[in-house]
Each structure stands twice: as C-alpha cells, then as structure tokens.
C-alpha cells in the first residue's frame, strides 16, 4: 500500500488561494522526503467548471498526482463537519499518512474535526518538518514568539501550515493529475453547523485590512479616541487601511475589526507604518507578514522600532501631520 500526503485546498470564487499554494509547496517537501509517497489534493464544495479548470491547472503546476473532488448537495453552504466528512473520505481513499490544510480559520476548524473523528493528534500552525518518521514538526506557539517541536505518532498525522511558513512555488515538474470524483455520505448532524446566511456588516472591513497594500498602525501613542485625525488622513492619502493595537480597541478608541494581532487580523501589506505601538509579541503575530515596517515612536528602544526596517523617533502627533503635508505637497 503506497502512502499519500493529502492537502485540503481552499479556493476563492476563481482560484486556489495563496495560503493553499503555500500549503501545497510545504507538502511537496514532505512527499519528497517520504519515499514513494504520492501527492493528493482535495477540492470541496460548489466548484463550477471555470474554477475547476483553473484549480486543476494550478494543482498540476504544484505537482499533484491525484485530485479528489467532493461535490454534494449538502456542500452548497459551508459547515466544518461536512467539509471534514469530505476530508475523511479522501484520507481513506488515498490512505493518507499525513493530512494538511492551510492554517486559516476554516482550515484549522476542519482539521480539528478531522483529528477528532480519526482520533489522532493535530499540530496547528506548523512551520517546518523535522523528522519524517515518526513525524516531528516545528510549530508556532505563543502567537509565533516560540516554536514547539512536536511529535505526531498517530496515523494519519493531521496538521495546519502557518501562513508564510514557505513561499509558494511551482513544482520542478508539473503533472497531469488524475481526478477522483469522491463518493461521500453526509449525515444530518453534519449540517447542523452550516452557515444559514452571510451578512454584510462592519466586520467586513477586516477584508480591507487583510488585503491592504498599505496599513497605518496606531497604538496607545494615539493618546485618545480623538487622536486619530492625522492617522486617518495619512490612511486616506495612501489609499490604505487603519490597523490598531489591542490597547486601542480595549479602550474603545476604535472598533475591534481594526485590531491587528494574535487575536485580531493578520496583515500582509507592502508597508506597515506602526505609530505609537510598542510591538508586543501578540501584535507581532499579526504584522510580521508586512514586507516593510516603518515605526514611528518616541521610544528608540521599543521592540517595534528595533525590529522595524525603518523608524522615525518622536511624537506621532507632530510627525504624522508633517508627513501628510509633505505628501500633499509632492502629490500636488
């Protein structure tokens, strides 16, 4: 019996997501290191013809050998339990030794169901594989400030891959994946936790934060709920999004959906301009995906400053308006 490494692939309306490509890249290394293992992927849910074609070519580019496609009337709306049923079916069909998903909220949720059903251990937010047999992985704990080496003896091993653990890359040789239309039965109980509707609300603004190329960060240094004028002006001038620390949301200065960090949003902008933020580890957990960090802070020794790429030392209430003025001058 050959063994397989199975990846649960997430898609948006058009294609396989970036975090899924990272997970596939991560899984390929595992396949290489397990002699004779096959690379399997699973697509779940409403997948129309266009999405299917795009996804299959992306998975071919990732060197996947077999793509399981789970389509079922019960998969028209998301529920973690029914997605987990698909994963368990695909794991059985492929006799998977390792099952992986991206470390997104849904990826983590579905894998927890899979691990509970298969009564096997799960490692969340894995960043690297140490030994392959028995499997030892390195994963983020303490919001990414500490790594835990964890041994997974159960089979299959279940894990989620932390965002940015690897850069997504194509396989050396692309494949022509075999497609397996997955047979599965959903139980009534699988559907109890399904999404009954999606509401547009202020929570949606997080999407703006997640996708923003420019994020202006604000912390306790803003001083009060009225201390955001200059910061909001800078955000507007740069066409970015405002992100804040938990002190700011905790004091009620700004709404929670703007919070960046371990218990807020994880951002990946081209530049993060962190103003009056000390750079606690829980905040880093959310902003370490920024390409460039510019810190504006009165304290030269604040972790936000020492770990940034660039810094300006001083009072944000003087610096930010000056930057705005200079920007307006140059932008004409």
Partner 1 sequence: MVNVMVCIKRVPETSGQILLSDDAQSIDARHVGYTLSSHEECAVELAIQIAKATDGESTVLTVGSQDAVEQVRNALAVGCSAAVLVEADPAAYGPADVAQAIAQVVRAREAAGTSYDVILVGNDAADTGDFQVGVRLAYALGRPVLTGISTVEMSGDTAIAKGKGPEGTEVFEIPLPVVIAIQEGGIEPRYPSIPGRMKAKRIPIDTVSSPIEPAGTGRVRLELPPAQPSVVEVLGEGPEAAPAVVELLYRLGVVTK
Angle at 260 between CA 258 and CA 263, to 5 degrees: 105
Query: Cα(17)–Cα(29) distance, rounded to whole angstroms?
Result: 19
Comparing CB distances to ligand FAD, the nearer of 130 and 314 is 314
> Which residue has tokens 């294609």?
15
Which of 160, 216, 230, 286 touches partner 1 (CB under 8 A)?
160
Residue 234 sits at φ, ψ, to 5 deg, of -60, -40
Size of the site for partner 1 (CB under 8 A): 92
Residue 322 binds which entry of partner 1, ligand FAD, none, CB below 5-8 Å type-dependent:
partner 1
Q: To the nearest whole angstrom, how small is the minimum distance from the Cβ of residue 95 to partner 1? A: 22
**One symbol per residue from 199 to 238: x for binding ligand FAD (CB under 6 A), - otherwise; what is it?**
--------------------xxx-----------------
Could you tell me the sign of the dihedral formed by the alpha carbons of 277, 279, 281, 283, in that order? Answer: positive
- φ/ψ of 158, rounded to 5, equals -115, 130
The piece of 27-35, 92-100, 169-177, 203-211 that touches partner 1 (CB under 8 A) is 203-211
Instruction: Please list every residue from 113 through 132 that binds partner 1, using CB under 8 A.
Output: 113, 115-117, 121-125
Among 194, 208, 220, 223, binds partner 1 (CB under 8 A): 194
Rule CB under 8 A: is residue 225 a binding residue for partner 1? no
**Alpha-carbon torsion (57, 166, 88, 187), positive or negative:** negative
The Cα–Cα gap between 312 and 275 comes to 10
Sketch the per residue contact string, 247 through 286, with ligand FAD: x for CB under 6 A, - otherwise: xx----------xxxxxx-----------xxx-x-xx--x
Whose tokens are 């793509």? That residue is: 67
What is the Cα–Cα distance from 297 to 239, expressed in whole angstroms? 22
H or E element at residue 93? helix 80-93
315, 322, 325, 326: which one binds ligand FAD (CB under 6 A)? 315
Q: Which does 178 bind (CB under 5 to 8 A by kind): partner 1, ligand FAD, none?
A: none
Residue 125 in contact with ligand FAD, rule: CB under 6 A: no
Structure tokens at 41: 């992927």
247 binds, among ligand FAD, partner 1, none (CB under 5 to 8 A by kind): ligand FAD
Answer yes or no whether residue 159 interacts with ligand FAD by CB under 6 A.
no
Sign of CA dihedral 237, 242, 247, 252: positive
Element (H, E) at 321: helix 316-331
Nearest to 129 by CA among 108, 150, 105: 150
Could you say whether residue 147 binds partner 1 (CB under 8 A)?
A: yes
Minimum CB separation of residue 164 from partner 1 in Å reads 13
Q: Which residues bind ligand FAD (CB under 6 A)?
A: 219-221, 245-248, 259-264, 276-278, 280, 282-283, 286, 296-299, 302, 315-317
């Amino acid at each position: 019996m050959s063994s397989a490494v199975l990846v649960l692939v997430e898609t948006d309306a058009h294609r396989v997501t970036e975090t899924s490509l990272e997970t596939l890249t991560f899984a390929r290394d595992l396949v290489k290191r397990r002699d004779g293992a096959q690379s399997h992927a699973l697509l779940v849910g409403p997948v129309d013809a266009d999405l299917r074609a795009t996804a299959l070519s992306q998975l071919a580019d990732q060197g996947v050998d077999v793509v399981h496609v789970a389509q079922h009337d019960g998969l028209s709306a998301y529920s973690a339990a029914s997605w987990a049923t698909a994963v368990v079916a695909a794991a059985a069909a492929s006799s998977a030794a390792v099952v992986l998903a991206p470390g997104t909220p849904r990826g983590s949720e579905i894998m927890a169901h899979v691990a509970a059903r298969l009564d096997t251990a799960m490692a969340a937010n894995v960043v690297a594989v140490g030994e392959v047999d028995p499997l030892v992985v390195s994963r983020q704990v303490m919001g990414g400030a500490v790594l835990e080496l964890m041994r997974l003896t159960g089979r299959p091993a279940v894990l989620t891959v932390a965002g940015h653990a690897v850069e997504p890359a194509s396989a050396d040789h692309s494949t022509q994946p075999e497609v397996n239309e997955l047979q599965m039965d959903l139980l009534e109980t699988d559907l109890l936790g399904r999404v009954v509707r999606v509401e547009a609300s202020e929570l949606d603004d997080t999407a703006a934060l997640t996708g923003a190329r420019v994020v202006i960060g604000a912390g306790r240094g803003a001083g009060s709920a009225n201390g955001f004028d200059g910061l909001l002006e800078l955000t507007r001038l740069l066409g970015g999004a405002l992100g804040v620390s938990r002190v700011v949301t905790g004091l009620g200065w700004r709404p929670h959906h703007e919070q960046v960090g371990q218990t807020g949003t994880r951002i990946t902008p081209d530049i993060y301009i962190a103003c009056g933020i000390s750079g606690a580890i829980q905040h880093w957990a959310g902003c370490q995906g920024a390409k460039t960090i510019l810190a504006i802070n009165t304290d030269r020794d604040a972790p936000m400053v020492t770990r940034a790429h660039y810094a300006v030392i001083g009072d944000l209430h003087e610096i930010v308006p000056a930057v705005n003025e200079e920007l307006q001058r140059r932008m004409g």
